[in-house]
Structure formats: C-alpha cells, structure tokens
C-alpha cells in the first residue's frame, strides 16, 4: 500500500478525507518539502495545494499521485464540493486553534473531525527508501565525528567544536542538522541537554550528541570521550552506561519488543550499579522525519506499546552526576524483517583524547 492508501484505510468511514497542514506530514505524504500550503487526501484523489512559488518545483518533485494546485480564493470550496466532503479530518495535534476556527467559519457546511496521531502512526514504519535515507544521514554524521576527533584542537571552545562538527556534516553531504549540536565538557557533561559554552574544552568527559539530515530524514547519535586520562570512577561510570546499552540492545536482538521492558533492562542495571536516580530520561525514541517520534522506550510509555516491524529507535542510556560529570552513549536500531539492525557503526570504547 502507498502512504496515502494507508491513510485512507485508517480514515475508513470516519470521514470523507483529511486536510494535512503540518510541514512534516505534508512532506511524508507528498514527497515534496514546502512550507506554505496543505495536502488534501480524499477517498479517490490527492491534492498538493500551495502558492505560485512552489508549483513548478512540486510538478517535478512531488509524488505522481498528487494533483498540484495553486490555492485561490475558491479552491477549497470547489474541492470540497467536487469530492462531496461533509466530514473532514484535521491535524488537531499540530493545527493552531485560530487556524481551525478560521476553517470552521469559512466552511460551516463541513464537519471538522480531530485525526489524532494517525499519520504519525503510519510514519512509525520506515520503508526501504526511508531506511536508506536515515542510514545515509548516519554515515554522514559518523564521518564528520571521526574528522572532528581526528583534528580536535583542545584550545577550541565548546561552541567552536559544535560549529565545526556541523560544518563537517554539511561538507560531507548533510542537508541540515537534526538539532542544535550538544558538545559539552568537564562538569557541563552532567547536563543531558547542555548548551555548548564559549569556554575552552575542559578536562574530563566530553559528550557530543548530534545528527545529520538527508532527504528530510534525521540521524541521532551520542558519543562520550575523555579529554585527558580517565580515573577509575570515570571508567566505572562509562562501563556501566555501555553495559546498560548493550543489555538493552541485546534484549531487542533476542526478541524483546515491549517499550517499557526494554527501558527497564538498562535502567535496572544503572540503578543496581550504584547510580540510582542518575538516569532521568527515557532510554530512547523513534527517529525519522522528526528527531523525536513514536515509539518511545520509556517508563512513561503505554504498557501495551511494542516495537514493530519498520521502527527506527534510539537506545541512549546515561549517567549524570550533578556538578561532576556525565556519560551518554546512543545508537539507532532498526527493527528489520529478518532481524534488528544496529544502524550506528561508530566505535564505543572509551577514547582518551
């Protein structure tokens, strides 16, 4: 089934179609990245609706099943009438209240029905081409990190190191960065989402969390290095995090699919090794057109949520000791038809710089 066919199947008899307003879900369905417009999916036809700036490019790049139309004053009225749309789903988790109210006012004959997360549920399954894009993004990120560490100047500031890594990703083919790069050293490594500072790299742990974008798809990885020599306690912390990740990934490879159970495997190891309360975030999250997608490996996930075929999910345990240091190690795992695959190839042994 195509992506639009999957959506129509989910809509079923609940509505006559769906209006897609968010950039990310328009890109997913149409294969075209545009920042102004809508996609309209009906039972029989699919429309890419935008303004003059994007029409020519859309005709070349969008999925062939979509009719490309410029939005005019009466475009929606005409399409709603032609497709006999009386009930229309909308993205209630993404559309603003003011946008929804404007639609209701303009089209009072149409009943607007909240769609919930039905597109996001479809997006959990990554097709072969989506997997290729995510993997390509990961290879770009890994090459950039290798170049950064090989050429790291310890007189760099954290901001300079982050900026250099982002430059290297783009130099190596990234269309963009997945999120603002985390590159924090010394005591700042205890901050899970620390912001790079305008200070020289400090001795101790140096945590880098980053990703590349390729064809709209994200990668996500974290590696923690040590600037200078690691003492015995630092080695213990690092080994604990690495073992926790290994146990969780091994469980996935052995068939465990319950999201809470997988998180618990890593969390129990960290807490049982003497670091109770030092792992305060979930073990992982889905990755795709957005850096954080469903499913989530977390104690807060629904009890009946399982990894399924086509999921790409991070596995990223960490230990953060306040005002001292922190360690996080993150890989991406794909749930393949024959077996899971670790998409992250970068070395994980403790590297002293």
Give residue-wise pLDDT tens across range 30-65: 999 998 899 999 999 999 999 999 999 999 999 999
DSSP 156: S
Residues linked to residue 19 through DSSP beta bridges, in sequence order: 40, 90
Rounded mean pLDDT of 134-155?
Answer: 97
Give residue-wise pLDDT tens across range 297-337: 999 999 999 999 999 999 999 999 999 999 999 999 999 99
Q: Contact, 32 vs 62, CB < 8 A?
A: yes
Q: Which alpha helices (H) appear in 254-350, and where do they start and end?
A: 259-272
> Does pTM surpass 0.75?
yes
CA distance 219 to 288: 8
Residue 236 — φ and ψ, nearest 5°? -65, -45
Q: Is the peptide bond before 213 cis (omega within 30 degrees of 0)?
A: no
68 has pLDDT over 90 = yes
CA distance 243 to 290: 28
Give residue-wise pLDDT tens across range 203-250: 999 999 999 999 999 999 999 999 999 999 999 999 999 999 999 999
105 has pLDDT over 90 = yes
Count the Cβ atoms, other than its own, within 10 Å of residue 224: 27
1 falls in which pLDDT band (50, 70, 90)? confident
Q: Contact, 220 vs 287, CB < 8 A?
A: yes
280 has pLDDT over 90 = yes
Secondary-structure breakdown of the chain: helix, strand, coil percentages, each rounded to the nearest 5: 35, 25, 40
Q: Which domains does the chain have, with CATH numbers?
A: 3-123 (3.40.350.10), 128-342 (3.90.230.10)
> Which of 138, 79, 140 is CA-nearest to residue 107?
79
Average pLDDT score, the chain: 97
Instruction: Write the CA distances from 155 to 168, 197, 216, 339, integer angstroms.
Output: 18, 13, 34, 44
Q: Which alpha helices (H) appear in 172-231, and where do they start and end?
A: none
């Amino acid at each position: 089934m195509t992506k639009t066919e999957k959506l129509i199947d989910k809509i079923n008899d609940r509505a006559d179609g769906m209006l897609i307003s968010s950039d990310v879900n328009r890109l997913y369905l149409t294969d075209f990245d545009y920042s102004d417009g809508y996609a309209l999916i009906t039972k029989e036809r699919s429309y890419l609706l935008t303004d003059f700036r994007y029409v020519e490019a859309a005709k070349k790049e969008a999925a062939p099943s979509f009719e490309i139309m410029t939005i005019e004053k009466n475009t929606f009225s005409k399409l709603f009438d032609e497709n006999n749309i009386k009930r229309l789903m909308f993205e209630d988790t993404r559309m603003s209240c003011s946008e929804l109210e404007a639609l209701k006012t303009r089209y009072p004959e149409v009943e607007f029905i909240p769609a919930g997360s039905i597109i996001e549920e479809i997006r959990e399954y990554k097709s072969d081409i989506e997997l290729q894009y995510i993997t390509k993004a990961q290879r770009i990120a890994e090459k950039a990190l290798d170049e950064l560490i090989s050429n790291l100047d310890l007189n760099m500031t954290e901001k300079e190191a982050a900026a250099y890594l982002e430059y290297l990703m783009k130099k190596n083919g990234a269309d963009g960065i997945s999120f603002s790069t985390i590159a924090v050293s010394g005591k700042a490594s205890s901050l899970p989402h620390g912001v790079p500072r305008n200070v020289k790299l400090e001795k101790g742990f140096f945590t880098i969390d980053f990703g590349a974008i390729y064809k709209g798809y994200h990668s996500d990885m974290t590696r923690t290095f040590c600037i200078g020599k690691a003492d015995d306690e630092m080695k213990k912390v690092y080994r604990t995090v690495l073992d926790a990740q290994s146990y969780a990934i091994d469980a996935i490879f052995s068939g465990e699919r319950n999201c809470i159970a997988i998180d618990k495997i890593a969390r129990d190891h960290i807490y049982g090794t003497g670091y109770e309360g030092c792992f305060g975030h979930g073990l992982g999250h889905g990755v795709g057109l957005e850096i954080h997608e469903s499913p989530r490996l977390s104690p807060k996930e629904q009890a009946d949520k399982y990894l399924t075929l086509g999921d790409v999910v991070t596995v990223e345990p960490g230990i953060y000791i306040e005002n001292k240091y922190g360690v996080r190690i993150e890989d991406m795992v794909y749930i393949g038809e024959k077996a899971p695959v670790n998409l992250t190839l970068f070395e994980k042994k403790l590297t002293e710089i």
